[in-house]
Amino acid sequence: VGDDRRRATIYGLDEGVIPEILELSEGAYPKSTSAVIIGPSLAERVDLTLGSKIDIGDSDEGPTTTVRVVGIIEERGMSNDLNTDSAIIGSEKLFTGIFGGEGEYAQVNIVLDDINDARNASTEIEEQLNKKKEQVMVQDSSRMLENITETLGTMTAFVMAIAGISLLVAAVSIFNVMMMSVTERIREIGILRSIGTQRNEIRKMFIYESAILGGLGASIGAVASLTIGWVVVLAMVGSTAYFFAPASLIYVPLAMGIGFVTCVVSGVYPAWSASNLDPIEALRAE
């Protein structure tokens, strides 16, 4: 694109099939060999819009083919068939005109009405095409989905275990901080009680302090985790398009709430202990 050189996956599909398997967020489907549609991640990364021109090929090795962007694909995410978010999709004629191989196909995708039929269908295809020897590799998306679900379940359990340990450590830390605060302020508590401060007011004072600690800690933790997560996702995936999705961000206030409640609960006993100190003994404390 201009002087900007990037790498991208290029798919050559039958023009009649493209509207059946891909949805557009804007623009139109390609009607000629000079028109292509592109993925949203590629459009964002290279700053491509409708009407932008792309030179396909390496100008150092030979002539390039210029195509025009006529549509941008709806975001699909990772897929077992076509990973189109960072790809260029054109007609079969465009692909074979650039790379050759007319009548040859690198991949065939079979779409079923019901995903539950995928395993039976893959078994039948395997039996028909690989009867004598393995000629094609058959991939079943339902099996891949099962593997992903199992892996995510294991990762979730691991993360939950770490989160549970972290919460326990945080609760103990807040408890120790509040108990130290009570110990260091025994004389102050004695003075407050001697001038008529009620026990419940002393309790509230320490619970409010633990709530403030919890609120500050949860806020700092949320900002830090979002920042670190954003950097890690950008480094690993190259795009943060999915990072700020509402489905992901809904867990941030939930985590903050759990952290806040943990801090408040951890401050209950120190608050109760402070409110039950004997005023005279507290005034004698050094």
What confidence score (pLDDT) does residue 68 get?
Answer: 92
Mean local confidence (pLDDT), 272-281? 83
Q: Burial letters for 63-79: b for 16+ Cβ neighbours within 10 Å, e otherwise? A: eeeebebbbbbeebeee
Higher pLDDT, 157 or 62: 157
Mean local confidence (pLDDT), 272-276? 86
* Residue 142 scores a pLDDT above 90: no
Higher pLDDT, 32 or 77: 32
What confidence score (pLDDT) does residue 28 get?
Answer: 92
Higher pLDDT, 200 or 244: 200
Q: For residue range 196-237, list pLDDT tens digits in order.
A: 888 889 889 989 988 998 889 889 988 888 888 788 777 776
What confidence score (pLDDT) does residue 241 get?
Answer: 64
What confidence score (pLDDT) does residue 238 get?
Answer: 64
Report pTM.
0.50
Which of 267, 256, 187, 265 minimizes the C-alpha distance to 217? 256
What domains are defined for the chain?
9-99 (2.40.40), 110-139 (no CATH), 142-284 (no CATH)
Residue 249 burial (10 A CB sphere; 0-12, 13-18, 19+): exposed
